Chains A and B, each alone.
Chain A
């Protein structure tokens, strides 16, 4: 049946948790009620990316974007837009820098600067319908790979494209595939392909979104990889915390098998390839390749020395090719549109050597103190400034940008001076951080860099497998030091000791979790030494975040006595009559920040504990 218009509802985890499934049902019901159900099709798609503004509804072919749609809006939306043909103004999105709403998706800055390659199908297809994927040229690349190309040709194409691992390592995929294939032939053991969907970095949701919006892209990529490497078995290791992704993936596999695109004799040829989904069990360290393979084998997820590479001896001692979800999702396009097309995007010249640049695009999950938190895909080489300010829409409440964190707990913080750096593998590494898997967290002036480093270290301490001494004890001793510093008990030797601990950990840890664990500390030490200095020597937290070093106070200039804070306070530290200046009892105050959240006037301020100390006050400002 030919629909005249499509109503695409975002059904990524974020919007689903904002009840987008119910929204979809409500729309269908309302459309049916208004006898429009044979004209307007409701499609549930994967994550649209505009997560802060969800639930998102996009109407095609008009390309109108509605944000924050709620169930109550449905009747009016249907009547206005689908019956009368007028966009519903109140649900249109207004960028922070604009006065008027911008109806068209393609005009919204968040979207215009992005380049969708991996996420090409986002918001357009129903991930639970293989027909949609096939209609969008899906599985054509696989057909080409099986019938027109040899294994070596496929590997050559991937090499020439310059595709580098999107999981954080940045290792050229083509070289990895070639090595794995060689190992399989040399050892006469059938290799296996593995997709790493563990995505343990806090704040990262790229892989989840890719699987949720376009699972077949990953499957097709793996099948092509299997063909190139000589593997007939593939595994997708999905972390336990991604039930929707697992469900969509399993469903996609079933459908692909039904269509003869996975399993035995694919597309009527003698090529066999099948995929099994395996669930993780809540360990960040299982994102590390050797730990992942141990977990796949049913053993405890602990890494082992990588002196013997997993491409030669991996899962069940077989040559194993492990790539990230995003890496696999790039493969079908490279095969379909050619290595040159892919290499033309990005930085550097990868035609001779994939290490010489960063080709293609990268998916990032943008979060933190930025207006447009969500999922973005940008060409390699775009500047941080463009991402944070143009796509991200800048810092809310017009606060000051302070730092952007990339690469998750293994990465580092870049200050404002680095905003014009091009985002690619090598530039970021040189600057003291790394691309990582694509998590990007923006920090404003209220973020304490010492506390941020401590936060990541806390995460790593919890997630360390504990097998090797430098990681287990190094993290513990670093945590002790940083915690002391944030409590104002720092000592001058601490900085030197933190650096030394970092050096030893980088030298001696058994796996990359350990060797990269010092990065948050070392990068904050590099770019924000003053903050450490203030904490240690002056017992002041310049960002006003470390609880032991600050006190809350009410700014008499801005308080309007609205009484919201008094209601929010759980320890009765705030008192005052309505419409009169309120008072804050510093003794009772536990600095939970509840009042800060509710105060519309930003009248609750933080200041150093020893506010009466002139030196400290000087340093603080």
Chain B
């Protein structure tokens, strides 16, 4: 492109032809006031406050710097008496409409305005159009527009009604220079309860996320709704954001596989008597975990939904565990994390903590000691399965509280404990898609859906399929130390397999006596591993022992008894049959 020369306030500067004056001035540090300008949107040129003088030959023009294209040889003066006189009156006009807007008054002070000659109005919108332009050009939602013309012009939504097209991205409020757009956090409309999840479509999941990189949630990202925005991509210097990424299927050849697909927390909705989803202050443990984290939504405070501190908190153990209605097994980790939360919540809010337990499972280093510490802290432990949580107050003390009804089995009677916050210690369960996943690897599962290890005592991380290992909670509920131990074990076994350099085949493969094979080909389609091929020349079926896994299906099918399985020949099995029937 063309390079041109011009001067701004006497300073010589080079620029690309037709660059707006404001950009050039900005580059050399000359300040020109603006009100309706914003880097995100195209220049609009309506506030006129960026007026400057442009001298060319003998002609002087007053132009707006934000959109006037620079040409060769012009002299720009940004602060002459004429310019100042114009800006002053423009500010007085702004004040006549919006007399108490801080940004206007700040500018007014710079131009020596004390008593604006046209009075001070009470409006707050300066009609700069930034909100309108951001909404239509950047976000693409087209919710805001100008209505009427002349002095009755105003910014609003169609028919002056709340618009369905508004996606509550708050971009309008962000760009508004006067702060006259506020965001009403209407409970059902935007983000209802305490945002315990991501607050923006692009987010880093947690402080401890690995990798520590942002992800974009497809369902809430504005770009996928309106084809606009992409502000994130425009500010990313290394250009690492690509909204067009698609799922890719890659084939990787590996020697061994470790399946460590983990668990999912029990859905607290499955235990409806505890009020999850009905009462706002019934949380799951994971939510509270997120809350008390220093990088969480409340900066580590333990707060109720309305932002106040709880005075009493009830932690209910065994939600979804040790329960015929959900899972009969013990989820192993809940007792300890319940104690942890009891300690943290008490620390952050001074609330009285109640734990409702069946047994305290504190089997681990320092675990029992921690439990004792809590007892000393004043945490109250009530042995009994909570029957229900409700907000029906029977006494004045229970008004406005959540009441936990439980049989205190040690004391021997039913108690009603009013609390402000209820934490449900939800158990662990196999993931929803566990069945799908394990079938991919030919892994069996136990009755609860946890992946089945080869031997409960002697082979906890291997499966019945050679080369496929399991580790962690996919195999059953366990805490972090145990998971890490299993992970190490599985890794070691996997490496051992690879390192060996050779694979031991099963001893019990099948073979076909080619001499006697009749070539009937019954066996060929039966092999799931395609280990049998029919040789057209020799007209016999040939079995590849390397591929054979030793199921014996072909053996059973062979009408000529020509296919046999090592260690499981017909003769051997017949002999066994005879053997077991010897009385």
- Measured CB to CB, the residues of A under 8 A from B are 283, 285, 300, 304-305, 307-308, 461-470, 472-477, 480, 497, 500-501, 503-504, 507-510
Smallest Cβ distance from B99 to chain A, in angstroms?
Answer: 12
B97–A510 CB distance below 8 A: no
Residues of A within 8 A of B313 (CB): none
- The listed residue (B45, B86, B118) touching A477 by CB distance below 8 A is B118
Residues of B within 8 A of A508 (CB): 48, 51, 62, 86, 90
Given contacts A508-B48, A508-B90, contact A300 B150 (CB under 8 A): no
Is B374 among interface residues, defined by CB-CB distance under 8 A? Answer: no
* Closest chain B residue, CB of each to CB of A466: B153
Residues of B within 8 A of A469 (CB): 46-49, 90, 93-94, 127
B137-168 contacts to A (CB < 8 Å):
146, 148-153
For the A-B complex, the count of residue pairs with Cβ-Cβ distances under 8 Å equals: 93
Besides A501-B89, A507-B86, 19 new A-B residue pairs in contact (Cβ under 8 A), listed by A number: A300-B146, A304-B45, A307-B63, A307-B68, A308-B69, A464-B150, A468-B45, A468-B47, A469-B46, A469-B127, A470-B90, A473-B97, A477-B96, A500-B85, A504-B85, A507-B62, A508-B48, A508-B86, A510-B48
Is B117 among interface residues, defined by CB-CB distance under 8 A? Answer: yes
Describe B's contact surface by its main secondary structure: mixed
A466–B63 CB distance below 8 A: no
Q: Assign chain B's interface to a size class.
A: 20 to 34
Is B67 among interface residues, defined by CB-CB distance under 8 A? Answer: yes
Smallest Cβ distance from A516 to chain B, in angstroms?
Answer: 15
Smallest Cβ distance from B23 to chain A, in angstroms?
Answer: 14
Residues of B within 8 A of A468 (CB): 45-48
B48–A470 CB distance below 8 A: yes
Smallest Cβ distance from A241 to chain B, in angstroms?
Answer: 17
Describe A's contact surface by its main secondary structure: helix
**A-B CB contact pairs (8 Å), 7 listed:** A285-B149, A464-B151, A469-B48, A473-B94, A477-B118, A501-B89, A510-B48
A144 to B67, CA, bound (A): 44
- The listed residue (A470, A473, A507) touching B96 by CB distance below 8 A is A473
Residues of B within 8 A of A477 (CB): 93, 96, 118
- The listed residue (A475, A504, A510) touching B90 by CB distance below 8 A is A504
* Closest chain B residue, CB of each to CB of A463: B150
A535 to B96, CA, bound (A): 25
* Closest chain B residue, CB of each to CB of A515: B62
* Closest chain B residue, CB of each to CB of A514: B48
Given contacts A468-B46, A504-B86, contact A474 B151 (CB under 8 A): no
A473–B150 CB distance below 8 A: no
Residues of B within 8 A of A285 (CB): 149
A304 to B66, CA, bound (A): 13
Residues of A within 8 A of B68 (CB): 305, 307
Smallest Cβ distance from B511 to chain A, in angstroms?
Answer: 78
Residues of B within 8 A of A509 (CB): 48
- The listed residue (B45, B69, B149, B152) touching A283 by CB distance below 8 A is B149
B76-120 contacts to A (CB < 8 Å):
82, 85-86, 89-90, 93-94, 96-97, 117-118
Smallest Cβ distance from B104 to chain A, in angstroms?
Answer: 11
A300 to B51, CA, bound (A): 25
Residues of A within 8 A of B63 (CB): 307
A201 to B177, CA, bound (A): 37
* Closest chain A residue, CB of each to CB of B151: A476
B45–A497 CB distance below 8 A: no
A500 to B93, CA, bound (A): 13
Is B64 among interface residues, defined by CB-CB distance under 8 A? Answer: yes
Minimum-distance CB pairs A-B, first 3: A473-B93, A466-B153, A507-B62
Residues of A within 8 A of B96 (CB): 473, 476-477
Smallest Cβ distance from A8 to chain B, in angstroms?
Answer: 42
B67–A305 CB distance below 8 A: yes
A283 to B149, CA, bound (A): 9
B150–A466 CB distance below 8 A: yes
Most B-side CB within 10 Å, residue of A283, A473, A475, A476: A473
Residues of A within 8 A of B47 (CB): 468-469
B69–A307 CB distance below 8 A: yes
* Closest chain A residue, CB of each to CB of B54: A307
Residues of B within 8 A of A497 (CB): 117
Given contacts A300-B146, A307-B69, contact A472 B90 (CB under 8 A): no
A308 to B67, CA, bound (A): 10
Residues of A within 8 A of B45 (CB): 304-305, 468, 510
* Closest chain A residue, CB of each to CB of B68: A307
A236 to B117, CA, bound (A): 44
A480 to B118, CA, bound (A): 10
Most A-side CB within 10 Å, residue of B64, B127, B148, B149: B149
A305–B86 CB distance below 8 A: no
* Closest chain A residue, CB of each to CB of B85: A504
Residues of A within 8 A of B148 (CB): 466
* Closest chain A residue, CB of each to CB of B126: A469
Instruction: Render B43-73 as a binary contact track against A, CB cut-off 8 A, 1 for contact.
Output: 0011111010000000000111001110000
A461–B89 CB distance below 8 A: no
Residues of A within 8 A of B118 (CB): 473, 477, 480
- The listed residue (B89, B94, B127) touching A504 by CB distance below 8 A is B89
Residues of A within 8 A of B67 (CB): 305, 307
Smallest Cβ distance from A285 to chain B, in angstroms?
Answer: 8
B127–A474 CB distance below 8 A: no
Smallest Cβ distance from A495 to chain B, in angstroms?
Answer: 14
Residues of A within 8 A of B127 (CB): 466, 469, 472
Residues of B within 8 A of A480 (CB): 118
A508 to B45, CA, bound (A): 10
Smallest Cβ distance from B95 to chain A, in angstroms?
Answer: 10
Smallest Cβ distance from A256 to chain B, in angstroms?
Answer: 36
Smallest Cβ distance from B499 to chain A, in angstroms?
Answer: 67
A467–B46 CB distance below 8 A: yes
A305 to B64, CA, bound (A): 9
* Closest chain A residue, CB of each to CB of B66: A305
A307 to B45, CA, bound (A): 11
* Closest chain A residue, CB of each to CB of B89: A504
Given contacts A308-B69, A468-B45, A477-B118, contact A507 B51 (CB under 8 A): yes
A130 to B93, CA, bound (A): 54
B64–A474 CB distance below 8 A: no
* Closest chain B residue, CB of each to CB of A476: B151
* Closest chain A residue, CB of each to CB of B63: A307
Residues of A within 8 A of B62 (CB): 507-508
A473 to B49, CA, bound (A): 13
* Closest chain B residue, CB of each to CB of A479: B151
Residues of A within 8 A of B94 (CB): 469, 473
A510–B146 CB distance below 8 A: no
A461–B151 CB distance below 8 A: yes
Given contacts A307-B63, A507-B62, contact A466 B149 (CB under 8 A): yes
A464 to B97, CA, bound (A): 17
A253 to B93, CA, bound (A): 48
* Closest chain A residue, CB of each to CB of B48: A508
A305 to B96, CA, bound (A): 25
Instruction: Render B530-545 as a binary contact track against A, CB cut-off 8 A, 1 for contact.
Output: 0000000000000000
* Closest chain B residue, CB of each to CB of A283: B149
Smallest Cβ distance from B468 to chain A, in angstroms?
Answer: 62
B149–A465 CB distance below 8 A: yes
Smallest Cβ distance from A482 to chain B, in angstroms?
Answer: 14
Smallest Cβ distance from A133 to chain B, in angstroms?
Answer: 39
A472–B85 CB distance below 8 A: no
A470 to B152, CA, bound (A): 15
B268-301 contacts to A (CB < 8 Å):
none
A467 to B85, CA, bound (A): 21
Smallest Cβ distance from A150 to chain B, in angstroms?
Answer: 31
A474 to B91, CA, bound (A): 11
Residues of B within 8 A of A470 (CB): 48, 89-90, 93
- The listed residue (B89, B97, B153) touching A500 by CB distance below 8 A is B89
A211 to B86, CA, bound (A): 42
B228-283 contacts to A (CB < 8 Å):
none
B51–A466 CB distance below 8 A: no
A497 to B85, CA, bound (A): 12
A283 to B49, CA, bound (A): 26
